Amino acid sequence: MKYKDYYAELGVARDADTEEIKKAYRKLARQHHPDMSKAPDAEAKFKEAGEAYATLKDADKRAAYDELGRHPAGEDFTPPQWRQAHASAGQAFDEMDLADLLAAMGRGQRGGQRGPVPMDGRDYDTSVQISLEDAHRGKRISLSLAGEGADSLLEVTVPPGVHEGQKLRLRGKGGKGINGGADGDIYLHILLQVHPVFRPDHHDLYFDLVLTPWEAALGAEVEVPTLDGPVLLTVPAGTRAGRKLRLRGRGLAKGQGAAGDLYAAIRIDVPASLTDRERELFEELARTSRFQPRASPKENEHDSPAAS
């Protein structure tokens, strides 16, 4: 059996706490996920990080791993005291995976129990990138876990309402238990693809709404996009750049019929070139308007035609 330095693989100290280990794993999972990295060794590094995390996040497995002491990565080693105690029927010690050995060591033999020790199957961590639309409506996806020791291909239903960073637990879909041990789980981390229009914040969505000066000044009804199709938004008269207009319940689904809100962040644009008539109108506005954008709001209030 070859020794694997799980701490080195995650880039953490041997006394790192659970939160440090989790942060290190998430960083590596994003960096080496096959959907996000084109490096030839990305998939292998992704799986190595997942195996290291599955061991170090579990207190019993981590304690058992630390009992092995320190060895150079890749060194062949055999803990003699565990050869007979934990080699299960039909599985020679030399054929055991390091993670299975650690699961056996962490569980131990209780109350002097003899015979093969039940070993739970391994848990696995993986991630999947989905679109905002799929997060909003839900989707059935094919999840490939080839080489992970779990089912090689799973059909998974991602429910409506998932959000960035959420973790879904697939019970009993991980490594197979040994000697009556429970099958492991798969933890599926949700990553959202960048959307060309919307910016998610948990279940709320934001997008930029560009208005003309007259729409902002006079008010207007404009068609805006949502994940369920376009809707009409009433822009109040006197809307300024930087204001956020809220459409309640038009954001990302939360499940059970609820949804976050959609926010239109206002931007105001002007024509790059003017017709003669447009220029005349803007020049007339410049002569007659008392609006002073660089003055205080109080001064504009008193100087406006409506106040006179």
Q: Average pLDDT of each block of 10 consecutive residues along the chain (308 residues)?
A: 84 91 88 79 85 86 80 68 42 52 52 53 85 93 65 81 90 79 87 95 95 96 96 96 96 88 96 94 92 72 45
Question: Which pLDDT score is estimated for 31?
Answer: 87
Question: Which pLDDT score is estimated for 106?
Answer: 53
Question: Which pLDDT score is estimated for 174?
Answer: 81
Tell me the Ramachandran region of residue 291: left when phi exceeds 0, alpha when psi lies from -120 to 50, beta otherwise: beta
Strand partners, 167: 189
- Mind giving me the DSSP string for 191-231? EEPPPSS-EEETTEEEEEEEE-HHHHHH-EEEEE--TT--E
∠ at Cα 28 (23, 31), nearest 5°? Answer: 130
Question: Which pLDDT score is estimated for 91?
Answer: 42
Query: Is there a contact between 178 and 235 (Cβ–Cβ < 8 Å)?
Result: no
Question: Which pLDDT score is estimated for 297?
Answer: 61
Residue 286, CA distances (Å) to 185, 213, 219, 296, 308 in order = 68, 13, 20, 19, 18
Question: Which pLDDT score is estimated for 122?
Answer: 79
Query: Is there a contact between 193 and 130 (Cβ–Cβ < 8 Å)?
Result: yes
Question: Which pLDDT score is estimated for 155?
Answer: 85
What values do phi and psi take at 118, rounded to 5?
-65, 135
Residue 190, CA distances (Å) to 57, 124, 126 in order = 19, 14, 9
Question: Which pLDDT score is estimated for 98?
Answer: 64
Question: Which pLDDT score is estimated for 197?
Answer: 96
pTM: 0.57
Separation CA 177–CA 194 (nearest Å): 38
Domains of the chain (ranges plus CATH)?
1-118 (1.10.287.110), 120-194 (2.60.260.20), 199-307 (2.60.260.20)
Question: Which pLDDT score is estimated for 136?
Answer: 94
Question: Which pLDDT score is estimated for 123?
Answer: 83
